[in-house]
């Protein structure tokens, strides 16, 4: 008998391994679970579509596969807590799993579009109501640490947009989903925080308000800086919106922080990393690196890969000519198609989410 985990599985791959391929192999993808993973039977599983709809639907996996056009999307899917370690070490301690820079995956997903399913069900809300309505996603199959179920929601206006590419994924990297990543069906929300990408999906509800699940209302929010503990955070949970779109970002994978780098014969060193666009403002159009604290910047080469698109990450490589020395720091900075660019540091917040300050490799010895 395999050992069954008693604790939720939360795991981040080695970053150099993660960025060695454009498409993240399923085995190399990070795992984030707020509870134990349910093992569901695909032959009996149903996704119920209800709420403010003309027709309530009970869709089997076969229905999702056969009754709707299948759509493929390659996108970055990241935990909103990705790079939390940088926030807590560079600015101030935060609460949450100590994610480094690898709580992100760039995979190929396939399944029906959410917009097609909502169209089949038919929305009953008025145009005005639709402006502020949400589509809630839920998994009631397994309890979580902070709630009896897992749920999230995303604005209906976005869910109805075909070009938002939100899908109910049945496949990840050309294979049925694995149990860990949501078998038999999960939501994939390109450009939106991973927390909204509900795994083991069993219910979709069109409603006039946000999901009231704990992870939507009391977690994954960028609280203001004066929320410094549970008590001072209390008044803000009701006023600060849940994280949806993720900010533009980049990180340096190589050289690793604190490492010793041998320059090439021409006196240059190579710097590599990944970059992510903000929300639906992809792709990343520029990555720059700086070895003088951000005074001057050198363009990195953006690498091209089959399957890339506005939602995917960009792997990049730069060459810098540098004198030998120690305690050197290199920064990276990405800009996306809408011109959003990374700040030197981003706002500290209690839960350590959405950190997108410059990518940084500090304490380098250059030989």
Ligand X SMILES: Nc1nc2c(c(=O)[nH]1)N[C@H]1C(S)=C(S)[C@@H](COP(=O)(O)O)O[C@H]1N2
Which stretches of the chain bind ligand X, using CB under 6 A? 29-35, 79, 139, 144, 150, 181, 194-195, 197-200
Rounded to whole angstroms, the Cα distance separating 177 from 179 reads: 7
Cβ 328 to ligand X shortest distance, Å: 33
The size of the interface with Mo ion (CB under 5 A), counted in residues, is 4
Residue 255 interacts with, from Mo ion, ligand X, none (CB under 5-8 Å by kind): none
Q: Which of residues 193-212 bind Mo ion (CB under 5 A)?
A: 194-195
How far, rounded to the nearest angstrom, does the alpha carbon of residue 230 sit from its chain's CA centroid? 25
Residue 169 interacts with, from Mo ion, ligand X, none (CB under 5-8 Å by kind): none
* Token pair belonging to 251: 């990180």
Choose between 172 and 269: whose C-beta lies nearer to ligand X. 172
Q: CB neighbours of 163 closer than 8 A, spacing ≥ 6?
A: none
Residue 150 interacts with, from Mo ion, ligand X, none (CB under 5-8 Å by kind): ligand X
Task: Tell me which stretch binds Mo ion (CB under 5 A): 73-81, 150-158, 238-246, 256-264.
Answer: 73-81
Nearest residue to 171 (alpha-carbon basis) of 80, 61, 68: 61
Choose between 27 and 162: whose C-beta lies nearer to ligand X. 27
Q: What is the DSSP letter of 24?
A: P
Q: Which of residues 25-54 bind Mo ion (CB under 5 A)?
A: 32
Q: Per rule CB under 5 A, is residue 188 in the interface with Mo ion?
A: no
Q: Per rule CB under 5 A, is residue 79 in the interface with Mo ion?
A: yes
Rounded to whole angstroms, the Cα distance separating 17 from 253 reads: 10
Q: Per rule CB under 5 A, is residue 76 in the interface with Mo ion?
A: no
Residue 200 interacts with, from Mo ion, ligand X, none (CB under 5-8 Å by kind): ligand X
Q: How far is CA 160 from CA 25, 60, 115, 130, 214, in A?
A: 30, 21, 5, 10, 25
Q: Classify burial at 14, counting beta carbons within 10 Å of its beta carbon; exposed 0-12, middle 13-18, buried 19 or more.
A: exposed
Give residues in contact with Mo ion (CB under 5 A).
32, 79, 194-195
């Amino acid at each position: 008998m395999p050992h069954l985990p008693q604790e939720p599985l939360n795991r981040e791959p080695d970053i150099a391994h993660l960025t060695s391929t454009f498409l993240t192999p399923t085995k190399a993808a990070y795992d984030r679970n707020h509870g134990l993973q349910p093992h569901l039977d695909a032959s009996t599983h149903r996704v119920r579509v209800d709420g403010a709809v003309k027709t309530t639907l009970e869709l089997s996996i076969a229905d999702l596969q056969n009754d709707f056009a299948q759509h493929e999307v390659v996108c970055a899917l990241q935990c909103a807590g990705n790079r939390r370690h940088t926030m807590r070490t560079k600015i101030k301690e935060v609460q949450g799993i100590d994610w480094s820079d690898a709580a992100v995956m760039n995979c190929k997903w396939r399944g029906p579009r959410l917009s097609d399913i909502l169209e089949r069900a038919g929305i009953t809300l008025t145009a005005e109501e639709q402006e502020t309505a949400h589509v809630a996603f839920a998994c009631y199959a397994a309890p979580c640490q902070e709630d009896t179920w897992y749920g999230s929601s995303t604005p209906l206006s976005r869910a109805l947009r075909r070009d938002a590419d939100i899908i109910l994924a049945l496949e990840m990297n050309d294979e049925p989903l694995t149990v860990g990543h949501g078998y038999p069906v999960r939501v994939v929300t390109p450009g939106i925080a991973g927390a909204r990408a509900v795994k083991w999906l069993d219910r979709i509800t069109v409603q006039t308000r946000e999901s009231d699940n704990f992870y939507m209302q009391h977690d994954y929010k960028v609280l203001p800086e004066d929320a410094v503990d549970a008590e001072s955070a209390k008044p803000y949970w009701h006023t600060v919106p849940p994280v949806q779109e993720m900010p533009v970002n980049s990180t340096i994978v190589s050289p690793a922080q604190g490492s010793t780098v041998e320059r090439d014969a021409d006196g240059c060193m190579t710097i590599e990393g990944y970059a992510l666009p903000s929300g639906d403002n992809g792709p990343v159009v520029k990555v720059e690196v700086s070895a003088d604290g951000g005074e001057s910047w050198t363009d990195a080469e953006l690498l091209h890969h089959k399957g890339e698109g506005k939602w995917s990450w960009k792997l990049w490589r730069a060459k810098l000519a540098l004198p030998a020395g120690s305690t050197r720091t290199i920064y990276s900075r990405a800009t996306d198609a809408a011109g959003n660019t990374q700040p030197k540091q981003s706002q500290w917040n209690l839960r350590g989410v959405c950190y997108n300050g410059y990518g940084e490799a500090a304490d380098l010895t250059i030989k």
